[in-house]
Amino acid sequence: MSLSPSLRLPATLLTGALLLGGLMTAPAATGAPAAAAATAAVRVNQVGYLPDGPKRATVVTTATQSLTWQLRNASGTVVASGPTTPRGADAPSGQSLQVADFSSYRETGAGYVLTVDGHSSAPFDIRADLYDALRSDSMAFFHHQRSGIAIDASLVGSAYARPAGHLGIAPNKGDTAVPCQATVCDYTQDVRGGWYDAGDHGKYVVNGGISTWLVVNSFERAQRAGKEAALGDSTLRVPERGNGVPDVLDEARWELDFLMRMQVPEGKPYAGMVFHKIHDAAWTAMPMRPEQDPQPRELHRPSTAATLNLAAAAAQCARVFRPYDPAYADRCLSAARKAWTAARANPALYAPASDSTGGGAYEDSRVTDEFYWAAAELYAATGEGSYRDAVTASPWHTSADAFSAYGFGWADTAALGRIVLATVPNGLPAADVARIRASVTAAADGYLARMAAQGYAVPVPADGYFWGSNGEVANDAIVMAVAGELTGDERYRAGALETMDYLLGRNALGLSYVTGHGETSAQNQHHRFWAHQLDASLPHPPAGSLAGGPNSALQDPIAAEKLAGCAPAACYIDHIDSYSTNEVAVNWNAPLAWLAAYAAERSSTGGEEPPTAACAVTYTVNNVWNTGFTATVTVRNTGPTAVDGWRLTWAYPGGQRVTSAWNATVTQDGTAVDARDAGWNRTIAPGAAVSFGVQGTHTGSNPSPTGFALDGGACV
Ligand code: 9MR
């Protein structure tokens, strides 16, 4: 919750949700003009649908009889049609709805439109690679949120580049030697790094822990499916690209290092416990780039919940990082063990709700579920009896409520323990593992039933639209995806994919909650740097940033003013000041990234996994004579973000030597050739290409090179 002092925008800038939220059959709080609403009455996933996935749309209409839907391709030809299913009044949205199901249509293409009763949907695609861009964009969010490192234009483009934040360089006060709040401790701690939580500059262990766990878990899940290459080294634009470690794990490590720095050192009171959070002493104004934050930073009292979050995330680290970096895995395990022991000795140090000056409280006074999750991870990592006993003695091991009605979340972590025990081989009796697995599928069945009962097929209940409801939707989808993995039942995959439809436009507002994905997407999320709505020189949030979503509690002034009387699923406004409906946060983007990676994976029927390279190179020999040749090299940026400054490398297979080059600076060492941009052509926009030429000598034959790498990442 970032309390912003600025509410200075005129009403004309209140875009998006209000205008798109029309055609409500319940009294509309917004007074949206009917004409604007009518064009948006057919709600689809605005990015599109997978050829082998479910394809459903929701129609907002007062009609009570079945209508006819028509699917038109880009040239306007009707390629499929059928009857809609009337669903009547839908409580969460307050709308009267019908559902169009065109799942049986499996042809691929771009620019489809669904038309019902004279109203047309936003255009959308049907293709197997639909989620490739979201897979990398949603994961790139974490790199953008990094504290303590410059965000480099060569990785993110110049609009999103910024100096390192909170490295103790004025006007920043931290985070290299951060004191505690008064009476908490008498020393300072280096807690640099990690990810900023959200639109604020706080770093909170409970939220960082669950987010890291989800990022690493997405890799683990892909590994179990044999599809981890898509998340492997050089698949993301992170500085660690090319280090031999999967990029997703590199990203998680940035936060893991921070989480371990938050542990109270040996010899100090509460050694092994973990400080609950570190943030500004007072809320900062909007906008505010991280390196400009002048507030003193403070460590807040250790908590049992934070300590167990570290224990869980670090134990998972020990398991998953071991093949790549055994020393790091050992360090993680040692931190996890210490945290566990300290939490057992201090089982009731609760973070209070009142501690919300300058940062969010992340209060939690029930930590038995954190104990269960941490014990499950420590048991999975070590197989040791003491951790197994902690698992089996926990009330959460047998409780029917481990998957709460509102899904899992930063304060409700028992479900994560169940997911670990259901998916990671462990020494529990087979019958116990079967029971745990059945609890995952039972929870997924509950979500499917809820979706089937709602016109927008949302897995959350009508009263479940609270702060961060979009994260809750994505978390529920994870449970369905895991159930699908455990059972092979396609209904669960369909449920998980259908929640993506909700996030990307098939919802009460006809709006994609993910920036840059979908015809009409949220773009003014609450963030201190991506604050274009407040300062036109600053960027909008980068593509792939998920808004918190509808929150019927209207917990910020602008939501309270503009959304009074809203139906729960329509309590959202795309305004930068609405931190209670429109902030971004690591714990919401993490399940989105998990889900995007899952959805981007090709199913057995969905075709081959495409190369994950972000570049494509052609090498054309233009001229060849007895001792020499000229060739044109064209490199295309097939990734989602701009390349700013490039280096293309290859090896000559036939003893060729470059003697001159144009439009690039080319050097050669043995067979290895290194071509760098010529300055003026340093930027390659997504989808764009640059060409350069080489002249060289050969020794009789002139075979073309085949493997090219852009900035260390293999091209196709
Ligand atoms: O996601 C958090 C939500 O569950 C709480 O109800 C809310 C109020 O305490 O805080 C949310 O988390 C915010 C945190 O406190 C500060 N950084 C931004 C987070 C997302 O809005």
Ligand 1: nearest atom to the Cα of 353: 9
Is residue 15 within 8 Å of residue 525, measured between CB atoms? Answer: no
pLDDT at 11 exceeding the cut of 70: no
pLDDT at 367 exceeding the cut of 80: yes
Residue 685: which pLDDT band, with cuts at 50, 70 and 90? confident
612 Cα–ligand 1 center, Å: 34
pLDDT at 40 exceeding the cut of 80: no
Residue 687: which pLDDT band, with cuts at 50, 70 and 90? confident
Mean pLDDT to the nearest integer, 647-673 = 91
CATH of domain 615-715: 2.60.40.290
Residue 2: its pLDDT value, please?
38
pLDDT at 60 exceeding the cut of 90: yes
Mean pLDDT to the nearest integer, 703-710 = 87
CATH of domain 11-25+131-600: 1.50.10.10
User: Cα separations (Å) of 586 from 204, 409, 581?
Assistant: 10, 12, 15
Q: How many CA atoms lie within 13 A of 544 on its CB side?
A: 29
Mean pLDDT to the nearest integer, 673-702 = 89
Is residue 502 within 8 Å of residue 514, measured between CB atoms? Answer: no
Q: Which amino acid is at 203?
A: K
User: Cα separations (Å) of 703 from 652, 656, 698?
Assistant: 8, 9, 9
Ligand 1 pocket member 361 (CB < 6 A)? yes
d(CA 263, CA 272) in angstroms, rounded, equals: 6
d(CA 706, CA 713) in angstroms, rounded, equals: 14
Q: Which residue has the tokens 């766990």?
A: 213
Residue 29: which pLDDT band, with cuts at 50, 70 and 90? very low
d(CA 122, CA 124) in angstroms, rounded, equals: 6
Q: Which of 125, 255, 355, 583 is catalytic?
A: 583
Retrieve residue 627's tokens: 């001792």
CA 640: distance to chain centroid? 15
What is the DSSP secondary structure assignment for residue 395, as one 8-state letter? G
Residue 609: which pLDDT band, with cuts at 50, 70 and 90? very low
98 Cα–ligand 1 center, Å: 34
Residue 607: which pLDDT band, with cuts at 50, 70 and 90? very low
Mean pLDDT to the nearest integer, 435-460 = 97
d(CA 391, CA 383) in angstroms, rounded, equals: 11
Residue 613: its pLDDT value, please?
61
Residue 30: its pLDDT value, please?
34
Residue 22: which pLDDT band, with cuts at 50, 70 and 90? very low
Ligand 1 pocket member 202 (CB < 6 A)? yes
Residue 10: which pLDDT band, with cuts at 50, 70 and 90? very low
Burial of 183 (0-12, 13-18, 19+ CB in 10 A): exposed
Ligand 1 pocket member 585 (CB < 6 A)? yes
Q: Which amino acid is at 655?
A: G
268 Cα–ligand 1 center, Å: 30
Mean pLDDT to the nearest integer, 387-404 = 96
pLDDT at 673 exceeding the cut of 70: yes
Residue 12: its pLDDT value, please?
28
Average pLDDT, whole number, for the chain? 91
User: Cα separations (Å) of 199 from 140, 407, 546, 580?
Assistant: 16, 24, 12, 11
Residue whose CA is at the smallest distance from ligand 1 atom 6:
467
pLDDT at 140 exceeding the cut of 80: yes
3-state SS assignment for residue 570: helix
Of 28-32, 178-182, 684-688, highest mean pLDDT: 178-182
3-state SS assignment for residue 594: helix
Ligand 1 pocket member 588 (CB < 6 A)? no
In the chain, ranges of CATH 2.60.40.290 domains: 615-715
Retrieve residue 318's tokens: 């020990």
Burial of 109 (0-12, 13-18, 19+ CB in 10 A): middle
d(CA 713, CA 716) in angstroms, rounded, equals: 10
d(CA 313, CA 303) in angstroms, rounded, equals: 16
Ligand 1: nearest atom to the Cα of 199: 18
Q: Which residues contact 625 (CB under 8 A, 6 or more apart)?
A: none
Q: Which residue has the tokens 């090709």?
A: 602
> pTM for this structure?
0.83
pLDDT at 98 exceeding the cut of 70: yes
Ligand 1 pocket member 467 (CB < 6 A)? yes
pLDDT at 360 exceeding the cut of 80: yes
In the chain, ranges of CATH 1.50.10.10 domains: 11-25+131-600
d(CA 531, CA 527) in angstroms, rounded, equals: 6
pLDDT at 370 exceeding the cut of 70: yes
Retrieve residue 365's tokens: 């006074």
**Residue 583: active-site member:** yes
Residue 316: its pLDDT value, please?
98
**Residue 363: active-site member:** no
**Residue 472: active-site member:** no
d(CA 568, CA 595) in angstroms, rounded, equals: 24
Which of 2, 276, 362 most suits a substitution to test ligand 1, by most atoms within 8 Å of the C-beta? 362
